[in-house]
Amino acid sequence: MSQLKYCQGPRCHTYDTKDRKRGPKDNKRNETRRRSSFYYLGGNACSMMCERDWYNTFGALALRHFGMITQPKVLTADNAWSVRRDWNNDNRYAYNYLTEERRPLTQQQYDNDNTITDDGRLAI
């Protein structure tokens, strides 16, 4: 059985729904939702509202923590590669979407997540 975790939305407990209600009749309270899995905020928030609340509260802080970019990121022919498949003839190839160059790939290269780096460079 997977472990239960709490929604990380800072205002989750303020949304008045039946499933958040806890306690006896004379001492009712709403609590943060607790589930084995969530769909939002990378699996940490119960709804888009809670995800948005988290972002509004912590987003700018997280940007400062992990570092703001201070120079523009640049796409050049070196990092404009993607892996594609031609469904007409079933050929696999690396495609450069700036130069429109195509380089044939083997099935093994096509299936390998490291053929194109995370920043779009061709690694073969």
Residues forming the site for Zn ion (CB under 5 A): 7, 9, 12, 33, 46, 50
**CA distances from residue 14 to 6, 11, 49 in whole angstroms, order as listed:** 14, 5, 11
What SS3 class is residue 35? strand
Taking the least distance from each CB to Zn ion, the nearer of 37 and 117 is 37
Residue labelled with tokens 């690694």: 123
Taking the least distance from each CB to Zn ion, the nearer of 2 and 114 is 2
Close Cβ partners of 99 (under 8 Å, ≥ 6 residues apart): 77, 80
| Closest CB 82 distance from Zn ion, rounded Å | 36
In angstroms, rounded to a whole number, what is the distance separating the alpha carbons of residues 96 and 40? 33
The pair of three-digit structure tokens given for residue 90, joined into one six-digit string: 């079933």
Taking the least distance from each CB to Zn ion, the nearer of 49 and 83 is 49
| Closest CB 19 distance from Zn ion, rounded Å | 10
| Closest CB 38 distance from Zn ion, rounded Å | 8
| Closest CB 3 distance from Zn ion, rounded Å | 17
Taking the least distance from each CB to Zn ion, the nearer of 11 and 84 is 11
